[in-house]
Chains A and B, each alone.
Chain A
Amino acid sequence: MHTEISENKAVKFGRYGGLFVPETLVPPLTELAQAYQRLMKSEDFKEELNLALKTFAGRPTPLYYARNLSQKLGRKVYLKREDLVHGGAHKLNNTLGQALVAKKMGKTRLIAETGAGQHGVATAIVGANLGFETQVYMGEVDIERQKMNVYRMQLMGAEVIPVRSGSRTLKDAINEAMRDWASSFDHTHYLLGTAAGAHPFPSMVRDFQSVIGKEARSQILQAEGRLPDSITACVGGGSNAMGIFAPFLQDEDVRLLAVEAGGRGLGKTDRIADHGASLGLGTDGVLHGALTKILQDPYGQILESYSVAAGLDYPGVGPELAFLAEKGRVLTKIADDKTAMRGFHALSKLEGIIPALESAHAVGYALEEPEALGDLAIINISGRGDKDLATVMDYENL
């Protein structure tokens, strides 16, 4: 799947992907694809990025043998510790990469969308560190849910712009960032946070996140002398999942398990989907520039998703994951809020690691379906749970 990014034509993953954007955005996306392709061939650029990943982000992150969790599940389980990346999540892998691309392109301003705030924080970090003016679009509802992350962004000099349109959550923040970019592309880079959207974002974000899987691959070979039977990752848009899956795609014996948010359960009302499982329960459609699996009503109106984990609360998914799931290379699984809470507590108690509620979906799934993991498993802990303490306390009425 490591398709070359062509200069003018959007990369497709089977029938998924594409460039379904207003004309105004076609030239900036083309310019971005070309710059990215050029830079990824440059040794200097790669060196600069690797140095930043090592000395600033704190890579490589450990692949940790989770003794107690392994004992409980009756199999060997390793955790890829993306929660230890600076900022508290895997998001910085991508924002560092894109911000360096933006710098080389001569851009002076970054805009980003954020749901839980993790990508916004990771963008604010690179904005401060690399000297960009930074503005982050965030739904009004999410601002209320994630006050600490709003303050973190502001501390680092980013401006958080409340989004009041639509459902006032992540999808609307993306809409607003795209509208901003349609008139600001001259000096602004749109730093999309997940492996979704229009070309070249799905490929570029996957590539920047694939450092997770590359490290995990050599780490598991060193520790165990063989590849794992399975890799489990949570999926919202799909950046941590594609990041850890990508280097294993050719290894057909490694089961790739994508765990989506089951939310409150799987009942559907008229406008609200009550879950975030676009890969497993969505249908083909166009959202944010790509043909992919989305949650929509029969007329094509986008449904409002729901999950206790704001980072999984998105009615779409990256096009490459849609393709891999359809091919059967990636297996789609669902963990609801309750299962995620179970994972959250279990990992905290068993290993002394408080996972992000997003990552807790992957842990919760493993607790419920241990047989699916095989004898040797890796779970991607995409972020740490400090940001979620208020949400969990609220959920449990503490």
Chain B
Amino acid sequence: MKISEAFEEAPLLIVYICAGDPTPAATPDLVRRLAAAGADIIELGLPHSDPIADGPTIQAAAQRAIAAGMNTDVYFQKAAEANVAIPKIFMGYYNMIYARGLDRFAGDCARCGITGMIVPDLPPEEAGPLLQACAKFDVDLIFLAAPNTPAQRLKMIEEETSGFLYLVARTGVTGAQSDILQSTRDLIARVPGSKPKAVGFGISTPAQAAEVITAGADAAIVGSVCVDLIARGEVELLEQLVRDMKAAVVAAGKSKAPIVV
């Protein structure tokens, strides 16, 4: 499914998991269960040895997954097996794409039902070649903006992104946080253009997910807390969390219109 179709039903809940954690075999079933619990889009992380944008939780998951045999071939195999009706998005580091070849990678995405890519260490300035490959296979390349992104640059990133714009809720790396910062609200408010906006980094509770929707985002992205629950073997708690977050996001969307932040 195309990402743009999913956003017709916004606000959305986007759920990240690290492919191959705890084992590659577990990944397709996890994706199906998350979709059934209410996830609107699944971000499927390809583990990398040197994840510079990730905090300790996702770093540890990547190490476990690599040790369990996850690699790019297995990744696409498992992504294809995870047959869900919602969009699947690749998330991973540029060197993994570069090593496989950009065209081959984008083609593999399309073949396995992955309709978008998030590459946290690839700013638009360096993305020309991958944009071309993505265009060939009709895969969205989703760019990120951060609270310290200056206005002119924010405009450029909004113009370059496709699918949606990924707003990094705070500076630093991925990981659960206890509150949503004013700088996150400011960032949501100052994005120009009309493309959908999804907020991630630090969202771990239904209340936080609702808060970013209320502040004007079209989707909330949840990652580290899910990875943490998977690490502890608490898949049922994870399903419950996704159900609760989805309900909070939908409720926030319904009461959103009149609120001015």
Neighbouring B residues of A300 by C-beta, 8 Å:
48, 72, 93, 95-100
Q: Is the CB of B172 within 8 A of A182?
A: yes
Q: How far is the CA of A232 from the CA of B117 in the complex (A)?
A: 44
Rounded to whole Å, the gap between the CB of B150 and the closest CB of chain A is 6
Neighbouring A residues of B148 by C-beta, 8 Å:
24, 27-28, 185
Q: Is the CB of B125 within 8 A of A19?
A: yes
Q: A22-B144, A286-B121, A287-B95 are in contact. Are A27 and B50 (CB under 8 A)?
A: no
Report the nearest A residue to B166, measured CB to CB.
A23
Rounded to whole Å, the gap between the CB of B60 and the closest CB of chain A is 8
Most-contacted residue by chain A among B56, B59, B66 (CB, 10 A): B59
Neighbouring B residues of A285 by C-beta, 8 Å:
95, 98-99
Neighbouring A residues of B168 by C-beta, 8 Å:
22-24
**A interface, over-half SS:** mixed
Q: Is the CB of B172 within 8 A of A20?
A: no
Whether a CB of chain A sits under 8 angstroms from the CB of B233 is: no
Q: Which of A179, A183, A185, A299 contacts B52 (CB 8 A)?
A: A179
Rounded to whole Å, the gap between the CB of A140 and the closest CB of chain B is 15
Q: Is the CB of B126 within 8 A of A182?
A: no
Rounded to whole Å, the gap between the CB of B145 and the closest CB of chain A is 6
Q: How far is the CA of A299 from the CA of B100 in the complex (A)?
A: 7
Report the nearest B residue to A21, measured CB to CB.
B121
Neighbouring A residues of B120 by C-beta, 8 Å:
22-23
Residue tally, chain B, CB below 8 Å to A: 42
Q: Which of A8, A22, A28 contacts B53 (CB 8 A)?
A: A22
Neighbouring A residues of B122 by C-beta, 8 Å:
20
Q: Is the CB of A24 within 8 A of B99?
A: no
Q: Is the CB of B71 within 8 A of A175?
A: no
Contact bitstring A275-296, B, C-beta under 8 A = 1, else 0: 0000000001111110100101
Report the nearest B residue to A289, measured CB to CB.
B121
Rounded to whole Å, the gap between the CB of B118 and the closest CB of chain A is 11
Contact bitstring B38-58, A, C-beta under 8 A = 1, else 0: 000000000011111101100
Report the nearest B residue to A180, measured CB to CB.
B172
Neighbouring A residues of B50 by C-beta, 8 Å:
166, 171-172, 175, 287-288, 302
Q: Is the CB of B98 within 8 A of A284?
A: yes
Neighbouring B residues of A24 by C-beta, 8 Å:
146, 148, 168, 171-172
Neighbouring B residues of A296 by C-beta, 8 Å:
95, 99
Chain A interface size, under 10 / 10 to 19 / 20 to 34 / 35 or more:
35 or more
Neighbouring B residues of A183 by C-beta, 8 Å:
170-173
Q: How far is the CA of A239 from the CA of B230 in the complex (A)?
A: 43
Q: Is the CB of B121 within 8 A of A179?
A: no
Whether a CB of chain B sits under 8 angstroms from the CB of A218 is: no
Rounded to whole Å, the gap between the CB of B177 and the closest CB of chain A is 11
Most-contacted residue by chain A among B63, B98, B168 (CB, 10 A): B98
Report the nearest A residue to B127, measured CB to CB.
A20
Rounded to whole Å, the gap between the CB of B55 and the closest CB of chain A is 7
Whether a CB of chain B sits under 8 angstroms from the CB of A237 is: no
Q: Is the CB of B49 within 8 A of A302?
A: yes
Q: How far is the CA of A102 from the CA of B145 in the complex (A)?
A: 25
Whether a CB of chain B sits under 8 angstroms from the CB of A3 is: no
Neighbouring B residues of A19 by C-beta, 8 Å:
123, 125-126
- A sample of 13 more A-B contacts (CB under 8 A), given A23-B157, A179-B172, is A9-B125, A22-B52, A22-B146, A23-B143, A23-B149, A166-B50, A179-B52, A179-B53, A179-B173, A294-B95, A299-B100, A300-B48, A302-B95
23 interchain pairs (CB within 8 A)? Answer: A22-B120, A23-B120, A23-B123, A23-B144, A24-B172, A26-B149, A27-B146, A27-B149, A165-B63, A172-B50, A178-B52, A179-B52, A182-B171, A183-B170, A183-B172, A284-B98, A285-B99, A286-B98, A287-B95, A288-B50, A291-B98, A301-B49, A302-B95
Q: Which residues of A contact B (CB under 8 A)?
A: 8-10, 18-24, 26-28, 165-166, 171-172, 175, 178-179, 182-183, 185, 284-289, 291, 294, 296, 298-302
Nearest 9 A-B pairs (CB), nearest first? A300-B99, A183-B172, A300-B96, A301-B49, A22-B53, A286-B95, A300-B95, A24-B146, A183-B171
Q: Which residues of B contact A (CB under 8 A)?
A: 48-53, 55-56, 59, 63, 66, 71-73, 93-100, 120-123, 125-126, 143-146, 148-150, 153, 157, 168, 170-173
